[in-house]
């Protein structure tokens, strides 16, 4: 039987869902707030899973967004270790895997994404993906001297994990079917630097060769490449991207378009159901309402808060500039905006090997900035570039390329 008390129900207790629940309380909403997650943990940060959780201490800890005590103190009901299995839009109810039903006034789907599976036979228990804290612990057990880790996919997750594995003494081979690593959204000039850093740290990177077969013979996982080479590994980690979790929304009849399709206010095709984070695609006004889906930590934070505001009737449109980052071997890579929107590039050198590539559209508008350097060398200028992008600025290319011209002065202009 459905409970009579309605309120705000959030499906997905990750970064996005957790931030949404906390924001509802911060904004003074005093009705019922229920947060539903399929893991046993309170909401936690996922970026450390491929970094600190692999290398720090003997017993890695979850970096929580809010403890169960904090959630309880804010009267946020956290239902863990269950899944939402059906939405009754007419009755405004969500049925959970334990048979219970939650009534809602507004519903937020923050179901995230799941690792893309490698579609081939032969995958055994030592062919794994990284998404949860439990996944991280399972992988970490293999990161030791004398072990060999094969990583399928040369994207952010795979490369961050490769860096962590080398720090722990494991041998690492990265297999990337594309011509280079970081093909998605990272300029080749920056990818080359990351590639060189991995090579200097002892990582073997194989690009331009697909996988013909995988077999686990009990002693090793044997990966045979299309070119004929065989790689024997103790563990194979598959990092070939992620797919949005949309089954619940699709079964409920919501519009799907590379994720749960929402408008600029994160409202789905049902006005009482919102979606945010990795699971949704939305129109990005900065780029001509281009529909995008962003798998990024900060986007999950920002959209969780935005969804909460709009569930309370703010009617606020998404206006943030996309931002991504990755740390590997002391190098920090940061990207603001969508670099594929650019038609020309201007380079600014910052010293000590750090530089930023500014990406300009045909009309001269700054649409993205990609930077790399040691530590926080590019952080300040990327932040200023992000502000210029948000203002739709058209700075002179010569000014962008000159270290003598402060970006802050271009912002003021």
Domain ranges across the chain? 8-114+243-311, 117-240, 330-412
Q: Does 8-114+243-311 match 117-240 in CATH topology?
A: yes
**Mean pLDDT confidence for 257-281:** 98
Which CATH fold topology does 8-114+243-311 show?
Answer: FAD/NAD(P)-binding domain (3.50.50)
**Mean pLDDT confidence for 49-70:** 91
Question: How high is the pLDDT of residue 335?
Answer: 98
**Mean pLDDT confidence for 269-295:** 97
Q: Is the dihedral of CA 188, 194, 196, 202 positive or negative?
A: negative
99 touches 82 (CB < 8 A): no
Question: How high is the pLDDT of residue 395?
Answer: 97
**Mean pLDDT confidence for 273-291:** 97
Which pair of tokens denotes residue 128?
């794994």
Kindly report, residue by residue over 341-393, the tens digit of the pLDDT: 999 999 999 999 999 999 999 999 999 999 999 999 999 999 999 999 999 99
Kindly report, residue by residue over 104-124, the tens digit of the pLDDT: 999 999 999 999 999 898 898
Q: How confident is the model at residue 57 (pLDDT cuts 50, 70, 90)?
A: confident
For 330-412, give the CATH class: alpha beta
pLDDT beyond 80 at 92: yes
Kindly report, residue by residue over 311-334, the tens digit of the pLDDT: 999 999 999 999 999 999 999 999
Question: How high is the pLDDT of residue 353?
Answer: 95
Kindly report, residue by residue over 391-405, the tens digit of the pLDDT: 999 999 999 999 999
How much of the chain exceeds pLDDT 90, in percent? 94
Question: How high is the pLDDT of residue 217?
Answer: 84
> Could you give the CA distance from residue 385 to residue 97 in angstroms, rounded to a whole number?
46
pLDDT beyond 70 at 4: no
pLDDT beyond 80 at 2: no
**Mean pLDDT confidence for 286-306:** 96
State pTM to two decimals: 0.95
- Nearest to 347, CA basis, from 337, 339, 359, 338: 359
What rounded mean pLDDT belongs to the chain? 95
Question: How high is the pLDDT of residue 210?
Answer: 92
pLDDT beyond 90 at 288: yes
Question: How high is the pLDDT of residue 122?
Answer: 84
For 117-240, give the CATH class: alpha beta
């Amino acid at each position: 039987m459905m409970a009579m008390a309605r309120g705000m129900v959030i499906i997905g207790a990750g970064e996005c869902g957790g931030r949404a629940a906390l924001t509802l309380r911060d904004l003074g909403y005093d009705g019922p707030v229920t947060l539903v997650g399929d893991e046993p943990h309170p909401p936690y940060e996922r970026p450390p899973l491929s970094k600190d959780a692999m290398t720090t201490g003997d017993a890695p800890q979850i970096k929580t967004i809010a403890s169960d005590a904090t959630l309880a103190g804010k009267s946020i009901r956290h239902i863990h270790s269950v899944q939402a299995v059906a939405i009754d839009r007419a009755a405004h109810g969500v049925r959970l895997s334990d048979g219970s039903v939650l009534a809602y006034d507004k519903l937020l789907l923050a179901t995230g994404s799941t690792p893309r599976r490698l579609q081939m036979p032969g995958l055994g228990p030592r062919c794994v993906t990284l998404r949860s804290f439990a996944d991280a612990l399972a992988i970490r057990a293999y990161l030791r001297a004398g072990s060999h880790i094969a990583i399928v996919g040369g994207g952010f997750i795979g490369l961050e994990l490769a860096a962590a594995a080398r720090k722990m003494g494991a041998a690492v081979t990265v297999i990337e079917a594309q011509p280079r690593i970081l093909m998605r959204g990272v300029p080749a000039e920056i990818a080359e630097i990351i590639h060189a850093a991995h090579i200097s740290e002892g990582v073997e990177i194989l690009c331009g060769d697909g996988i013909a077969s995988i077999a686990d013979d009990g002693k090793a996982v044997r990966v045979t490449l299309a070119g004929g080479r065989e790689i024997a590994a103790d563990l194979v980690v598959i990092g070939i991207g992620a797919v949005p979790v949309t089954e619940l929304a699709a079964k409920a009849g919501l519009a799907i378009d590379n994720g749960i399709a929402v408008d600029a206010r994160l409202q789905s095709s049902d006005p009482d159901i919102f979606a945010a984070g990795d699971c949704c695609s939305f129109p990005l006004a900065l780029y001509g309402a281009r529909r995008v889906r962003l798998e990024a930590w900060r986007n999950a934070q920002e959209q969780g808060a935005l969804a909460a505001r709009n569930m309370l009737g703010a009617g606020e449109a998404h206006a943030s500039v996309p931002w991504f980052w990755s740390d590997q071997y002391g190098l920090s890579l940061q990207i603001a905006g969508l670099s594929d929107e650019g038609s020309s590039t201007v380079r600014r050198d910052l010293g000590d090997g750090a530089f930023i590539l500014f990406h300009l559209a045909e009309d001269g508008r700054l649409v993205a900035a990609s930077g790399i350097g040691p530590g926080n060398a590019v952080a300040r200028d990327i932040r200023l570039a992000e502000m210029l992008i948000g203002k739709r600025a058209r700075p002179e290319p010569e000014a962008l390329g000159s270290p003598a011209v402060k970006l802050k002065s271009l912002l003021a202009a």
